[in-house]
Chain A
Amino acid sequence: MLPAECSRRLVAELRDALDSCAERQRQLEQSLRVSRRLLRAWEPAETPAPEPTPGPEINEETPSSACPPSPQDLKELELLTQALEKAVRVRKGLSKAGGVKARSPKSGSASSATRASAPPSTSRCAGSCALEAKPPRGVRHPWVPAKDLPGHRLLLVGDGPHMGQGARANKPEAGLRDQQIVPKAASQVPEAFTLKDKGALLRLPEAFRKAASRNARLWAQLSSMQTGDSVDAAAATAKTQFLQKMQTAAGQPSSMLSAAEVRRLQKACSLLRLRMREELMADPKDWTQEYRSLLTLEGLQALVGQCLHRLQEQQELRSVVVEQLQGPCPEGPPRAASPCGGDADPVWSPQLLLYSSTQELQTLAALRLRVAMLDQQVHLEKVLMAELLPLLSEQEPLGRPWLALCRAAHCLLCERGQRFLTVLRDEPADRLSPP
């Protein structure tokens, strides 16, 4: 068993790691839910109120939010469907017979019927699905008589050649089956909107576009104000002076080393060591080289002295600390383990990351997660080392508990918790008993 304080700290660290993982998972699951829903057929949403100005906006609005049809709508729809069916039959009959003359009165009546029902439908479901009725550019399927009619359910009716690609509606001859289907389907969307088929037809609403572009413009302004030369020099000086005044009023010495500085010093240390090795291994050929090498080493010594001095300042500060606090300090402030430097400027607007295939995106995402995981592993490794190694070196008794601890520690520290070593007691007698 581990001592209480140590246990508490280690468990807290591991729970922290588990929680952050769980949080990522939660966010991922939410995104997955949304994405999956988007790729399925879109259910009609309940539109709470019709758009006040249906006219110019019929194109743009939500493609799939059909309002639930009222009984009157259903009746009209049935009338309409019957009329159109009749037209189809007549046309078919006529095309067989080869005659065209009889068509006009029929289609005339059909179109008048449709026009009669058009206005009420428009006013009721103004925002809905006229999208299909007005083909935007790039549309592949031809639209014919149904073009001027709002309500995508009418599109089901149509003759073979005028139906769009097979993907749409999955039932090209649905028109003839409409009589049965439509009244029932009128209570659901008869032809569901799928992103795959009609995604290219979507358009963002006007209000949103305006707000989004204004948003982008404001962010750009804000960021240029921060980073550009238009920074108000007077305000900047005023701020620095204010800070200094606050500092001197309190009489406190300069603040402690930040994590970023520690990293810098660590980097300095390794670079200095590297340089020193290079110099020591080099073989001077003549006196200029010798002298140069000597000067370099002296310079390195001076730099190391500077770094040590900076560190030692902090040590002295620590030794005169005065405990001012009542009560424990909650672990509020975040961990200073951010690799980009805790005080990095806020990122104003996200950059664009351009990818060209799903494979590429998946590789990128996998790598990013791997880096995050490794980061966490390095941190945990350091924490475990800091806690477990002192424990092992302190404990004296050569009993089973110590061996078990040692073995477990080896597993955790050296093998990422994945493999175990075996410890055998080397008895002078013939039998070897594993612990």
Chain B
Amino acid sequence: MGRRRRRRPDPADAARALPEAIAALSRALPAAPSPETFRRAKFDRPEAAPALWRLLFRVLSPLPADGASASLALEAQARWVKSALRSQGYPRQALVQLPDEGFQGGRELLLALAWLLARGPLPERLLTQSRVRLGDEMPLCECEALASPGLPAPSVEAEGCVDIRHLQWLMGKLRLRWRNLMAGQQEQCALLGQIHAYTRGCHSDRSLGHLSVTETELLRDPEGGRQLLLQLETENARLEAALEWRRRELVFWQWMDTVLDACPPEASLPTFLPRIPKLGAGAAGLLVRELQALQEELRALQEELQEAVEARRAAWQAAVGGHGPEWRAARRALQTAVAQDLAALQRAWEQDEGRSRPHGPCRLVRTEARVPGGPGLWAAGVTEALRAREACLEAVLSQLQSQCRQELARLAGARPGLIWILPPAH
């Protein structure tokens, strides 16, 4: 890129480069404060804190529900930010100890922001979340859906005990909703197919060939089209800012080092860990249970292996006598072969399995072509992959169900004097 910033920059350059880098960062992040705020934060000035709390809230929360989350008081936002950081494993305690009113601790907040920036491509990820979608997209996996649940409902209705029949009713309602959803989805696909077919040949981009609903809509409704254009241009500006940030970020990290050094050393309290939820509390409790189950399985496996190994080792020792020197060479060969074998096995679970599954949203393109003109997934291939996943999930579900059946049968069996008539298996 033509910038010689690989070596240590001289002070005159640094004086200019840092504000520019921070300015680029401000422009790349959504709702970021001015570069001036960053500098004030380093010196722990109180006016910097609220802006940074809001920025952290915006950055950490999923797609903001318009108005609902923005209208949360600063205090509530501060609390939320603390818990979100904690659950990601944020190391510093000083942040948690900041008062909730949100007017102190600019420096700690700056450090938290830097921590988030260092861990992953944060501006890019935010841009991806709020990307302007020009095509008709179909997500192939549920990552985005899961990553943006609504903000936590501030007040979950504190219900008392419920009858299990209420649960059955809720399940039935859920089933019905899914059915409606699927029916609606079929209609939407039919409409999409029509729109794509009718606008064939319109798109300037040959690989697409036809217009999407968004594009057709902008032609139908010029006011909406103007807004879309504005959004696109805003996004372009942010993208350019993100690129500039990437080019200049080194000087920012050097500055953050100084900020960290300026902090007083943390008192070494007993280990501050992310909050471990009690057993049975929600999703994390589920994780705990899964871990326990896993541990038991592994222990059982270990015992079985131990038995087998001891038996065979003993048998081997008994029979081993009488092998000559060629035995030693053969033994070494066997050892390497087995080691390779096991390494391959280990790779099978260590390796990222994300590649195998289709991932992310895809833009739907209707085409008559039989040969792929460029990069793109074919619907047939994706359908196959989805069928495989469906089969896998069905298998898991059946396995869980049979586990339950066994358990319930065991419980029922313990109580004599009853006849259990199971529904006919279909």
The answer, among B128, B250, B363, for a CB contact under 8 Å with A353, is B363
Known: A12-B282, A358-B193. A334 touches B149 (CB 8 A): yes
> Complex Cα distance A334/B142, Å?
13
B6 engages A45 (CB within 8 Å): no
A177 within 8 A of B: no
B219 engages A296 (CB within 8 Å): no
List A337-379 residues whose CB lies under 8 Å from chain B: 337-348, 350-358, 360-375, 377-378
Contacts of A347 in B (CB 8 A): 128, 359-361
B68 within 8 A of A: no
Can you report 25 A-B residue pairs in the complex whose CB atoms are below 8 A from each other?
A23-B150, A24-B145, A61-B222, A65-B222, A127-B222, A200-B202, A208-B225, A208-B232, A211-B233, A215-B132, A222-B239, A249-B266, A264-B350, A337-B283, A338-B142, A341-B352, A362-B186, A366-B182, A367-B387, A368-B138, A410-B408, A412-B168, A415-B423, A417-B175, A421-B422
Interface SS of B by simple majority: helix
List A302-353 residues whose CB lies under 8 Å from chain B: 303-305, 307-308, 311-312, 314-315, 317-318, 320-325, 327, 329-348, 350-353
Contacts of B185 in A (CB 8 A): 28, 365-366, 369
Contacts of A421 in B (CB 8 A): 420-423
Contacts of A83 in B (CB 8 A): none
Which one of B10-18, B36-44, B45-53, B410-418 is at the interface?
B410-418
Which one of A69-77, A112-120, A145-153, A285-293 is at the interface?
A285-293
Whole-angstrom distance between the Cβ of A244 and the nearest chain B Cβ = 10
A200 engages B198 (CB within 8 Å): yes
Which one of A89-97, A158-166, A385-393 is at the interface?
A385-393
Known: A195-B195, A317-B273. A350 touches B146 (CB 8 A): no
A252 within 8 A of B: yes
Contacts of A314 in B (CB 8 A): 291
Please report the total number of B residues contacting A with Cβ < 8 Å.
230
Contacts of B139 in A (CB 8 A): 368
List B83-132 residues whose CB lies under 8 Å from chain A: 83-84, 86-89, 91-93, 96, 111, 114-115, 117-121, 124-125, 127-129, 132
A323 engages B418 (CB within 8 Å): no
> Complex Cα distance A328/B145, Å?
26
Whole-angstrom distance between the Cβ of B312 and the nearest chain A Cβ = 5
List B321-361 residues whose CB lies under 8 Å from chain A: 323, 330-331, 334-335, 337-339, 341-342, 345-346, 348-350, 352, 354, 357, 359-361
Contacts of B208 in A (CB 8 A): 352
> Complex Cα distance A41/B86, Å?
54
Whole-angstrom distance between the Cβ of B253 and the nearest chain A Cβ = 4
Known: A259-B287, A267-B349, A340-B357. A406 touches B156 (CB 8 A): no
Known: A7-B160, A374-B394. A21 touches B177 (CB 8 A): yes
